[in-house]
Chains A and B, each alone.
Chain A
Amino acid sequence: MNNLRNFSIIAHIDHGKSTLADRILEMTGMVRKTSMDQMLDSMDLERERGITIKAKSVRIPYKSADGNEYILNLIDTPGHVDFSYEVSRSLKACEGAVLLVDATQGVEAQTIANANLALDAGLKIIPVINKIDLPNAMLDDCSLQLYTMLGLGIEDILHVSAKDGRGVAELLEAIVERIPPPFGSASDPLKCLIFDSFYDPYRGVIPHLRVFSGHIASGDRIMLKSSEKIFEIEEVGYFSLGLARSEHVQAGEVGYAVALIRDAGEIHVGDTIVSADHPEVPAIPGFRMSQPMVYCGVYPIITSDYAKLGAALEKFKLNDSSVVFEKENSAALGYGYRMGFLGMLHMEIALERLKREYEQDIIATMPSVIYRVFLKDGEVLMLDNPSKFPPEGEIDHIEEPIIRTRIIVPSDYVGPCMELSDAKRGVLVGIEHPDDRRAILVYDLPLSEMITDFYDRLKSVSRGYASMDYEMNGYRAGDLVKVDILVNNGAVDALSYIAPKEGAAVRGRALIHKLSKTIPKHLFKIPLQAAIGSQVIAREDIFPRRKDVLAKCYGGDITRKRKLLEKQKEGKKKMKMVGFVEVPQEAFLSLMKIED
């Protein structure tokens, strides 16, 4: 066990985590040097967005400079705030973490958040400044930030270029020298942590495990602590670049287990696996069920595709057990589903995967948070769908979820960032000045503001320099009202939203204006209205289309004309019929794109 090292790489987004992982795999001979970038990110979407969605691990044999042989388990972690619980569980499986900082960017909000998670998990941190090959690398500044903001020793900092490989050999040496080997006895009763899982259509849900004590082998009967369900192990093994079957996985090691677990809902990240013979072994602390924060309606564009969408969601959930969904019925959109996600990024990725990988033509409605609605009769409702809100007269007051956000911003942009946070109903909790060039603003902010456009706006007012991270911080009462949107004189439940009463009219007008530009002209006039109860707060009309393109139809090129019409028809298929009006997807998300 002394030659085992379990570690993660943690970093702010785009600081080069995946590139470093690739370089490590290459320099240890796991993969040949290829032009194929970023081995660990296997989903197309991940590569496109440059982020790692699902954590993955790999077991790397490594011969150190002094000739000793080691096994390095590199446990990849998702790099986004939506997945901070998943990150914390992955870190729990490690003894050390490589904290990567982009030499041109310095310490950012997620650097701090991730470093704190690693410290909480009691990990040994190796601070590493990456991208030293870039001409604008600021090595001294970064070192100072690591010291002042995170208390890390300057003499411990390594310099690497994941891109050209400089410093990576030294980093590998530091990993075996500085990170302690795992401890725990293989002869004690079994205790292991589930830190990830994936779904195999033939073998069911396959959990990723870190064994803390005992060992696990095929034929063992195991028990999940959270549900006390018992399964029999069919196969165990390690992560090579694929799955490598082995006789057993024992204390200190990382591996997988196949137990024919058909229902993805059985396996929860953070849960503890023990031997069915020793159910008394305590669970590893810190487990919680993943908790959706953001909800939206998902409807098939063609109403009759409802069953097909349901089947796709069932399949999708096998791959991503953190989404939740239930049937929902909208007067405007027909039958569909209400889906819950860990956060906005998670939502965007899940919806995109539904469209691409599961080939669903869907319309997603405006995302919503979960409101606590206190009724006058004393009842309290938890509502994630504005269209389900009771009439205003029955509501005593409404509470909304609050996040505590930590924004790191250069001093020059503190003003605009504070203005933005104030405008988004933020309450300033504190300002820290880690050095003379940057400030950390701590705000309590409604989550609903975060899921509209806060992050985009923050980036824009700070010219891209601000970074942020957040955590949930309870509920707070707000002066909130439900705004209804009427299209062609009919209320469209899927467009209604909850908004602060103050400024509701201004926002309503901006939304109606946006909608008037998003919904295409029809052959008839379409009135658009925003209303609070029976009071109309904004109105605009979409005037009828008087002409569509009278494309020339001579010269005999009929094929071109027909193809244009077919393309137009395809475009129509991407829109949802609401009454007699064709409404494109963008319209349902207009609220997120309004400039105040």
Chain B
Amino acid sequence: MPGLYVHIPFCISKCYYCDFYSVVVVPELLDRYIDALLAEADSYNGGDFDTLYIGGGTPSLLGSKRLEELVNGLSRRFNFERIQEATIEVNPESAGRDFLATAYSLNIRRVSIGAQSLNAEELRKAGRVHDRRQVLDAVDAASGSGFTNISADVMIGLPGQTAQSLASTLDILVGAGIKHISAYCLSIEEGTAFFRCPPADLPGEDDQACLFESAVDFLRAHGFTHYEISNFALPGSECLHNLNYWRGGAYIGLGPAAASHTGGMRFKNAPCLERYLNAPLSTREEEERLDDGRKAGEEAMLRLRLIEEGLDLGEMAGKYDQGAVESLKVRLDGLVSRQMLVADGHIFRLPPARIFTSNSVFVDVIS
């Protein structure tokens, strides 16, 4: 089930925690950027996709006309007949009704809103440029445009965040009809404003764990499935595009910093808009083709993120050579004996108690 990811690396301004590749939007470059994306798309000589994900950055900064150009341009180059899910990310301040209606008309049926929080102080301290009202307006605009599959991003561990403020954020979002929540823990990454100047009221590691647990409890109580470490969905609203990543599937990423996984090879484009605009076909870097042993370890690590689905070793045996699967099994069995994984026949899962400390499990899964 191959996926197509399109990166829109523009933002109104950089949020204090963000280390994704984005630049402050320069309106004059947007048209050139669409051309560059389509030029990169051309280089693939067609392709069938099951999911489309337009992410960022802030895709809603494209405006309706360019979104049309982009999606129509892509659909001329690729086969979108079998698309099961097409998602667009929007930020509240630029998610107008017109833009969302255009997206809907282009057969985009899933919208992901970068809400992060509904608490005014938390939004301000994180460097978000929208307020709480604009989030709710964006949800309304999406519903009004016909979207029923709406997701929201929420950050755990924002400066000043408490269990109450987090519960309130989730409560309002769920009440507004959000069917999918991505809840990411704030981590201070090099190159961000928070890294240079860490806020004093940043919740500590233990507080973050408590906040996360409270979010899990809240969302479960409201019928959400904790289907991936950081993702929650009402049944049937899981993100198919992301599920494909976690199942080790193939995908193509267009745009600077976008990653691809196709034909057993992983590579990505350089995180540099200027280079991409000048030569969209020649910024590919970090190509890697792993041997079966490491590939199996990598996929196992990804699949174990799927808390309910887990890792089916039988399925791995169909994909990788015997030695790779056997050595993986030895590692998995070792982790089971240390209670870091649970086994149910040939299916391995993270036990609930290990979800917050899954890295220490994954370290021993990969090799």
**A202, CB-defined interface residue at 8 Å:** no
Contact indicator A559/B288 (Cβ below 8 Å) = yes
On whether the beta carbons of A545 and B357 are closer than 8 Å, the reply is: yes
Tell yes or no: B266 within 8 A of A by CB. yes
The answer to whether B187 touches A556 (Cβ under 8 A) is no
A542-571 with Cβ < 8 A to chain B: 543, 545-559, 561-562, 565-566, 568-569
Chain A-chain B contacts (Cβ-Cβ < 8 Å), number: 96
Q: Which of B287-315 contact A (CB under 8 A)?
A: 288, 298, 301-302, 305
**Contact: A550 with B366, CB < 8 Å?**
no
- List residues of chain B with CB within 8 A of the CB of A559: 259, 266, 268, 286, 288
> Which 6 pairs between the two chains have the least Cβ-Cβ distance?
A546-B209, A548-B359, A547-B209, A547-B356, A556-B259, A557-B259
Enumerate chain A interface residues (CB-CB to B < 8 A).
Answer: 523, 543, 545-559, 561-562, 565-566, 568-569, 572
* 17 CB-based A-B contacts, threshold 8 Å: A523-B360, A545-B357, A546-B356, A548-B359, A550-B229, A552-B230, A553-B245, A553-B302, A555-B5, A555-B55, A556-B5, A559-B266, A559-B268, A561-B301, A562-B298, A568-B359, A568-B363
Is B91's beta carbon under 8 Å from chain A?
A: no
Instruction: Decide: A546 and B206 in contact? CB cutoff 8 A.
Output: yes
CB distance from B355 to the nearest CB of A (A): 8
Interface residues of B in 73-130 (CB under 8 A from A): none
CA distance A556 to B205 in the complex (A): 26
Is B208 touching A547 in the complex (CB atoms < 8 A)? yes
**A543 CB, min distance to chain B CBs, angstroms:** 8
Report yes or no: B366 in contact with A556, Cβ–Cβ below 8 A.
no
Instruction: Decide if A551 touches B187 in the complex (CB within 8 Å).
Output: yes
Which of A547, A550, A558, A565 touches B261 (beta carbons < 8 Å)?
A: A558
B242 is an interface residue with CB less than 8 A from chain A: yes
Q: Do residues A558 and B259 form an inter-chain contact, with CB atoms below 8 A?
A: yes
In the bound complex, residues from chain A placing their C-beta under 8 Å from that of B5 are: 555-556
A565 to B301, CA, bound (A): 10
Known: A550-B358, A559-B266, A569-B364. 12 other contacts (CB 8 A): A546-B357, A547-B357, A548-B360, A550-B184, A553-B246, A553-B305, A555-B55, A556-B253, A557-B257, A559-B286, A562-B301, A562-B366
Identify the closest chain B residue to A564 (Cβ). B359
Interface string of B227-247 (1 = CB under 8 A from A): 001100000000000100110
Contact of B363 among A543, A546, A572 (CB under 8 A): A572
Q: Which residue of B lies closest to A567 (CB)?
A: B363
Q: Contact partner of B205 among A547, A555, A562, CB < 8 A?
A: A547
Take A556-B258, A556-B261 as given contacts and tell me if A547 and B245 are in contact as well, using a CB distance cutoff of 8 Å: no
| Chain B residue nearest in CB terms to A554 | B242
B362 interface residue (CB < 8 Å to A)? yes
- Taking a contact as CB atoms under 8 Å apart, the answer to whether A549 and B359 are in contact is yes
Which of A545, A546, A558, A569 is close to B245, meaning CB atoms less than 8 Å apart?
Answer: A558
B356 near A557 with CB under 8 A, answer no
- Identify the closest chain A residue to B305 (Cβ): A553
Residue in A closest to B7 when the chains form the complex, CB atoms: A555
CB of B20 within 8 A of chain A? yes
- Chain B 241-270 per-residue mask, 1 if CB under 8 angstroms from chain A, else 0: 010011000010100011111000010100
* Chain A residue, CB-CB nearest to B357: A548
Q: Is the CB of B366 within 8 A of A566?
A: yes
CA A310 to CA B270, docked complex, whole Å: 46
- In the complex, which residues of chain A have a beta carbon less than 8 angstroms from the beta carbon of B210? 546
Give A57 Cβ to nearest chain B Cβ, in Å.
49
Cβ of B302: which chain A residues have Cβ within 8 Å of it?
553, 558
Q: By the criterion CB–CB under 8 Å, are B185 and A550 in contact?
A: yes
A547 and B187 CA atoms in complex are apart in Å by 12
Task: Give B233 Cβ to nearest chain A Cβ, in Å.
Answer: 14
Residues of B with C-beta under 8 A to A546 = 205-206, 209-210, 356-357
CB distance from B356 to the nearest CB of A (A): 4
Residue of A nearest to B213 (CB): A546
User: Of A549, A561, A572, which is within 8 A of B185 by CB?
Assistant: A549
Complex interface: chain B residues within 8 A of A545 (CB): 205, 357, 360
